Amino acid sequence: MEVVDPMSEENNTKHYFAKIIESTGEDLGRAGLVDTPQRASSAFEYLTGGYHQTLDDVVNDALFPSDSNDMVIVKDIELYSLCEHHMLPFIGRAHVGYIPRGKVLGLSKVARIVDMFARRLQIQEQLTTQVAKTIAEVTEAAGVGVIIEAKHLCMMMRGVEKQNSLMKTSAMLGCFRSNLSTRNEFLSLLRD
């Protein structure tokens, strides 16, 4: 017999997934479901892995000196998150822009910062703000702009069942907030 420690976090999650499946009236013993609590628990752990990451791990010193003070844009960063109200996915893209002041961030690190916050229970507005504030903090940029557009499965599969609604959120910091032409440059570069 398998010896399990019911107090370990992993087995706890597995146990709760088993209860959730049972609550539908399903037979947990049937072939297709027998390992589902385990699989669902590891998937959930992965999808909420952002809680166990630190900014230092993610950035890993990938900050490079730069004389440029021209806008840097990373657009179309794929994003997968879970809404904190229904624990259903929301899926979309993030666009990040900043004006460096002496240092630039490694390109992949921008995407990893987005992932770190996306892999938590989230609302899109907060995710957008967290990414913007973190990029600002790490790079000490003169300004940061973040736009996220996403489709929420909690709206598509249940509730109002609106398949085509796309939610857009933005966070503008520093000169992206105070300077209209900077903000417009960002928005027009995103359209190209």
Instruction: Kindly tell me which of 34 and 157 has the beta carbon lying closer to Zn ion.
Output: 157
Residue count of the chain? 192
Residue with tokens 């107090």: 7
**Residue 186 Cβ, how far from Zn ion at the closest point, in Å?**
28
- Which single residue brings its beta carbon nearest to Zn ion? 154
Measured from the CB atom, the residue of 135 and 148 that comes closer to Zn ion is 148
| Residue 124 Cβ vs Zn ion, minimum distance, rounded to whole Å | 10
How far apart, in whole angstroms, are the C-alpha atoms of residue 147 and residue 125? 10
Q: CB 86 → Zn ion: shortest distance, Å?
A: 4
Q: What helix, strand, coil percent values describe the chain, rounded to 5? A: 45, 25, 30
Closest to Zn ion by CB, 87 or 107: 87
Report d(CA 104, CA 87) in Å as an integer. Answer: 35
Whichever of 83 and 118 has its CB closer to Zn ion, that residue is: 83
> 115: closest CA among 34, 46, 20, 32?
46
Residues forming contacts to Zn ion in the complex (CB under 5 A) are: 83, 85-86, 154
**Residues 6 or more apart in contact with residue 187 via CB below 8 angstroms:** none
In angstroms, the CA 10 to CA 41 distance is 7
Which of residues 104 and 150 has its CB atom nearest to Zn ion in the complex? 150
- Output the smallest distance, CB 83 to Zn ion, in A: 3
CB 120 → Zn ion: shortest distance, Å? 14
In terms of CB distance, is 86 or 151 closer to Zn ion?
A: 86
Residue 79: CB atoms within 10 A of its CB come to 23
Burial class (CB in 10 A: 0-12, 13-18, 19+), 133: middle
CB of 87 to Zn ion, least distance (A): 8
